[in-house]
Homo-oligomer: A and B are copies of this chain.
């Protein structure tokens, strides 16, 4: 019977491994190290340690490393063996966030100024690059617990996953301002940009846990499904969620004329007249409140909220089906935790 840790214990293992990996940034020019630790919520722009509340707010749910560690336990391995991989994933994720924020000109990330806004675009590029290198070092620390051939596979897929993420980001930037993006284009794009890293998290947790490659791939599908559902739920929250829960104004994604799934579903469903209105209005730099209201009523007219929710529900069902296929009705704590996590993500309002 494998040992199952508490959430707190798992996160402590993750923090330990992150601290160990970040040591590679020590040395002359404190700035590189500072930017990296700031982005992870560990310190302020001035280098002061953050308080517990800030740290938790910046670190968020830590969904990706959590899934890697839970899966490792669920298949009979240990969260400790998965810690290097989990930390590598979290570092990879933070590297992509830093570069995304430059690309999207996002002024804030998790309620704090983005790295580029504090230290310039040029230095933020460096911060991301450095974190990516650190993530590879973290992965190597798995050598202590994982056979060499498995480790090589983990490293290879880690970098292939990164290529998928970058490809998704290339597509996302390319889609901006295009009016002919289809829901299918969009699903392909988020499959790389958001879901690939969740697939890797689940897959790598399974590999570290010692399952055969076929089972690991199936668990990778679970991660993929979690990732797709997660992103589409995010798209819904960007339009229909009240400000007090997300920290963003309701309909904020519309105001910033983002091409998220609801908008693409609307475009595909709209009659000629409505499509023309959208085509004309959904291109200015920022929509005014009248335009936002009109768009919200069009979304209601075509029942887009329910249609989008259908995608989330489908991914949820797929996730639960894979969990059942692999783990049956096991009541092992890590399996239960995975089931709960999958269900919470569907209904989350933040």
- The answer to whether B123 and A173 have CB atoms under 8 Å apart is yes
Q: Does A32 reach chain B (CB closer than 8 Å)?
A: yes
* With A123-B173, A125-B125 as contacts: A134 and B163 at CB distance below 8 Å: yes
Q: Among B128, B132, B170, B188, which residue has its beta carbon within 8 angstroms of that of A123?
A: B170
- The answer to whether A24 and B160 have CB atoms under 8 Å apart is yes
Number of A residues, CB within 8 Å of B = 46
Number of copies: 2
Closest Cβ–Cβ distance, residue A154 to chain B (whole Å): 11
Closest Cβ–Cβ distance, residue A230 to chain B (whole Å): 21
CA distance A25 to B123 in the complex (A): 26
Q: Does A254 reach chain B (CB closer than 8 Å)?
A: no
CA distance A173 to B122 in the complex (A): 8
Closest Cβ–Cβ distance, residue A156 to chain B (whole Å): 5
Q: Does A246 reach chain B (CB closer than 8 Å)?
A: no
Q: Does A201 reach chain B (CB closer than 8 Å)?
A: no
CA distance A132 to B134 in the complex (A): 13
Chain B residue with Cβ nearest A98: B125
Chain B contacts of A158 at CB under 8 A? 136
- The answer to whether A174 and B28 have CB atoms under 8 Å apart is no
Selecting from A59-67, A144-152, A256-264, the interface stretch reads A144-152
* With A123-B173, A132-B132 as contacts: A148 and B152 at CB distance below 8 Å: yes
Chain B contacts of A134 at CB under 8 A? 159, 163
Chain B contacts of A160 at CB under 8 A? 24, 133, 137
Closest Cβ–Cβ distance, residue A184 to chain B (whole Å): 11
- The answer to whether B99 and A32 have CB atoms under 8 Å apart is no
- The answer to whether A29 and B137 have CB atoms under 8 Å apart is no
* With A24-B160, A167-B32 as contacts: A103 and B129 at CB distance below 8 Å: no
Q: A31-B174, A99-B125, A103-B122 are in contact. List 16 more A-B contacts (CB 8 A).
A: A24-B160, A24-B163, A25-B163, A28-B171, A31-B170, A32-B166, A32-B170, A125-B125, A130-B162, A133-B160, A134-B163, A136-B136, A136-B158, A140-B152, A140-B159, A148-B148
